Structure 1
Amino acid sequence: MTPTNTQAKSIGFAAALLLAGCHQVTDINMEQSTAADSQGFEQFFQALAQHCGNAYPGGLTLEPEGDDMLTGTEQLIVHFRECDDKQLKLPFHIELEAEQSWDRSRTWLISKHNDGLELRHDHRKADGSDDTTTMYGGFSVGEGSAVLQQFQSIPRTEESGYFRGWRIEIEPGVRYTYGTVRGDGWSWRIDFDLSQPLSELPPPPWGHD
């Protein structure tokens, strides 16, 4: 179901607070995020799973110059929709202000293996069929931790000569952050406020019952 105007205002207010406070949120330093526990990825997986069944509002916090995927004014929603011991499915809903509708084409798939995690991007068309570009992603790299995991895009890394991929951070009950990484820093980033679960859940993403 599509959020009501009241909900949209509430989402917008939460997103505005999130964006306004983003300068106070220090990126988790990789040295701090390195866990001595070799199973940090399992703790990370469980930290995400704590939010299963809930959806949360968010907003754009960083976008490269010239990138027009988002304007920064849209309402964004992450839904921790499907969870089991091996895989989490998190639909990512984007408000289309001009069309007064929602893009429900994207679902993040996070799978747990014996030695780490795997991130895939399930992209669908409105009729439920696979998009031209779908299921791209990569495996977790480095030590990682219970609050941060990075996933490498091998093709993009080989093409550029420096690390490229995705970073996900989780502070249970506080924030969920997803973005792309070039080298050591964010190149694109969105943050969701985990302290503000939505009272009404969004409908299934395209192609999912």
Structure 2
Amino acid sequence: MNIQKWFVITFTFVSGVVFATQAPLVSIPTHDAFFSAIKQHCGKTFEGKVTVDNQPSAAFDAKLVMFIRKCDQAELQIPFYVGDNASRTWIIKKTGSGLSLKHDHRLKDGTNDPVTMYGGHTQDAGYNQIQSFPVDQYSKELFAQQGLPQSITNTWQIYIYPEMFSYRLVREGREFRVDFDLTKPIAAPAAPWGYKD
């Protein structure tokens, strides 16, 4: 098995002294392949379109753009622009027990939206091209607090193929999907709200 190891720092307190040690951050091949397939497009921007939406919203009747803006060994930051709205950034991260997907939502002044950093975590190996992120406990509690009980059964999926990147949301009675054409890069936009170039 081709296992890659990164390292995270953990801290141990003994008699008031802090000792730093390195613990391996282990990934499995399907997660690595999925992560790397997205990372290879780092720095590029692509236009997309809504291909499935069983509850159409006028909010998405705008130019849809994703920018694979920042990548390192453990994290990908992908702003998603809806017209002039630059409030959304998808964050895919290696956690040591799989992959997480978080939605960083900001207000125009860069501060956190009341509903932010929600998302989910992989629960299985998934596939090189597809990973699913069932809603996590933090997000369930956030949705309940914010009056969004319909979202506590969310599952997000991301597909990555040579010519297409897809973002999909599903729950009972709801399906939403945006497909991005990876064959036609476009000019990069400005940094999303709350981030700097």
Task: State the Cα distance separating 1:66 from its structure 2 match.
Answer: 5.5
Q: Secondary structure at the match of 2:184?
A: coil
Give the whole-Å Cα distance in 1 for the aligned partners of 2:112 and 2:169. Answer: 22
TM-score normalised by length of structure 1: 0.70
The percent identity for this pair of structures is 36
Q: What RMSD over aligned residues (CA atoms) do the two structures have, in Å?
A: 2.5
Give the whole-Å Cα distance in 2 for the aligned partners of 1:81 and 1:141. Answer: 26
Task: State the Cα distance separating 1:85 from its structure 2 match.
Answer: 0.2
TM-score normalised by length of structure 2: 0.74
Could you tell me which residue of structure 2 aligns to residue 168 of structure 1? 158
Residues 45 and 68 of structure 2 are in contact (CA less than 8 Å); yes or no, is this contact kept in structure 1? yes
Instruction: Go from structure 1 to structure 2 and tell me whether the alpha carbon gap of 1:84 and 1:186 turns closer, same or farther (over 3 Å shift).
Output: farther
Task: State the Cα distance separating 1:68 from its structure 2 match.
Answer: 4.3
Give the whole-Å Cα distance in 1 for the aligned partners of 2:153 and 2:192. Answer: 31
Residues 54 and 174 of structure 2 are in contact (CA less than 8 Å); yes or no, is this contact kept in structure 1? no
Residues 39 and 71 of structure 2 are in contact (CA less than 8 Å); yes or no, is this contact kept in structure 1? yes
1:59-99 per-position Cα deviation (integer Å, ceiling 9, x unaligned): 1111123544423xx2111000000001000000111xxxx
- Poorly superposed stretches of 4+, deviation over 4 Å: none
**What is the aligned counterpart of 1:41 among 31, 34, 57?**
31
Q: Which amino acid counterpart does residue 129 of structure 2 have in structure 1?
A: V
Q: Which runs of 5+ in 2 are unaligned?
A: 1-26, 142-148
Could you tell me which residue of structure 1 aligns to residue 195 of structure 2? 208
Normalized per residue, which structure has more strand?
Answer: 2
Instruction: Choose between structure 1 and 2 for higher RCO, CA contacts under 8 A separated by at least 6 residues.
Output: 1
Q: Which has the larger radius of gyration?
A: 2
Count residues in correspondence: 161
Q: Describe how 1:127-166 pairs up with structure 2 within 5 A.
A: 127-154=109-136, 155=140, 164-166=154-156
Q: Describe how 1:101-140 pairs up with structure 2 within 5 A.
A: 102-140=84-122
Q: Which runs of 5+ in 1 are unaligned?
A: 1-36, 96-101
